Amino acid sequence: MTTVTPLISSASPLARDIDGKAIAAQVLEEVREDVKKLAGQQIFPALAVLLVGEDPASHVYVRNKLLRAQEVGIRSLEYRLPDTASQVQVLELIAQLNMDVSVNGILVQLPLPAHIDEAAVIHAIDPIKDVDGFHRENVGGLVQGIEVLTPCTPSGCMRLLQETCGDLSGLHAVVIGRSNIVGKPMATLLLQANCSVSVVHSRSVDAPALCRLADIVVAAVGRPGLIDASWLKPGAVVIDVGINRIATESGHRLVGDVDYASARTVASAITPVPGGVGPMTIAYLLKNTLVASQLQRGVGRVLVG
């Protein structure tokens, strides 16, 4: 067992912010550069985004994704189906996109209307075009350490951690939450980065005590402000994945799963909400579109890392 030097030897009075907007801008710049290089080889990566129904939040997410794709020069194709679309219609469209060699990435915006089986739709996407990394083939590959398309939010969190801490080897990470889209892939990626990993969930006994052992805490719970200073070891690095909409007198505001004001009195670095993990998710979606186009040509991650 290696002895690990603490990340930050003593906690400063207030944690510094991990600037997700700035780091995402850097990732997008890397993607833009790679898109240019590919254009020189007459390769033009394309992302198809499918939106079913009228969920207002989903419309905002899709608009942002398409806008960012355009900014980095990735061709984007938007497909909209009404709330009343049948599962067969959705599956037919996916089959078409799977066959279309000019489409490198397929993203189905979730949630889908209740009458459509989300799992059936996700697993209908060709795994090599599954830029969300949710297909069971990609999930299995991730666990086995095979080069696959990896879920965007955990990939973005890893980049934030690497930019903040450098080498993560030997650090103890606690992931709070065990969903298929965030908690589980996050724990797997941390393990691959040689962290010792614990996963805390709703049945964990004394979750705060488990978290207080952690050098790195990743919160993906969906409970506003659940994690406060009493959950943290001094100097811990905190990644707050949570996005919770809180009603205010003037409308609403977004808060994370971490009580930011309290946590930053103990942590050494923390992601704010908004402006932390959120921008990284879109950046890694576009990065995944490039990775998909590379994998489809059988050349692996030549340009993108």
Residue nearest to ligand NAP (CB): 179
The DSSP secondary structure of 40-95, one letter per residue, reads HTT---EEEEEEES--HHHHHHHHHHHHHHHHHT-EEEEEEE-TT--HHHHHHHHH
Q: What is the closest distance, in whole angstroms, from the C-beta atom of residue 180 to ligand NAP in the complex?
A: 8
Alpha carbon 14 to its chain's center: 26
Q: Which is nearer to ligand NAP, 76 or 153 (CB)?
A: 153
Report the residue number, 89 or 204, with the smaller CB distance to ligand NAP: 204
Q: Are strands 75-81 and 105-108 parallel, antiparallel or unpaired?
A: unpaired
Q: Are 295 and 128 in contact (CB under 8 A)?
A: yes
- Between vectors from CA 256 to CA 132 and to CA 195, what angle results, nearest 5°? 65
CB of 277 to ligand NAP, least distance (A): 4
With tokens 């930053």, the residue in question is 264
Asked if 287 contacts 31 with a C-beta cutoff of 8 angstroms, the reply is: yes
The CB-of-219 to ligand NAP minimum distance in angstroms stands at 8
Q: Which is nearer to ligand NAP, 91 or 229 (CB)?
A: 229
* Smallest distance from ligand NAP to CB 214, Å: 13
Catalytic residues: 65, 109, 132
Give the torsion sign (CA, 21, 241, 300, 165). Answer: positive
Give residue for tokens 């905190």. 238
Residues at the interface with ligand NAP (CB under 6 A) = 153, 176-179, 181-183, 200-204, 207, 220-223, 226, 241-244, 277-278, 281
Closer of 8 and 121 to ligand NAP (Cβ) = 121
Least distance (Å) from ligand NAP to the CB of residue 222?
4
| Residue position matching structure tokens 């959950």 | 231
Nearer to ligand NAP, 124 or 134 (CB): 134
What is the amino acid identity at position 50?
L
User: What values do phi and psi take at 176, rounded to 5?
Assistant: -100, 115
Q: In 3-state terms, what secondary structure has residue 50? A: strand
| 8 A C-beta contact, residue 89 and residue 120 | no
- CB closer to ligand NAP, 24 vs 295: 24
Structure tokens at 130: 């599954």
Pairing of strands 251-255, 244-248: antiparallel
CA angle 106, 299, 26 (to 5 degrees): 65
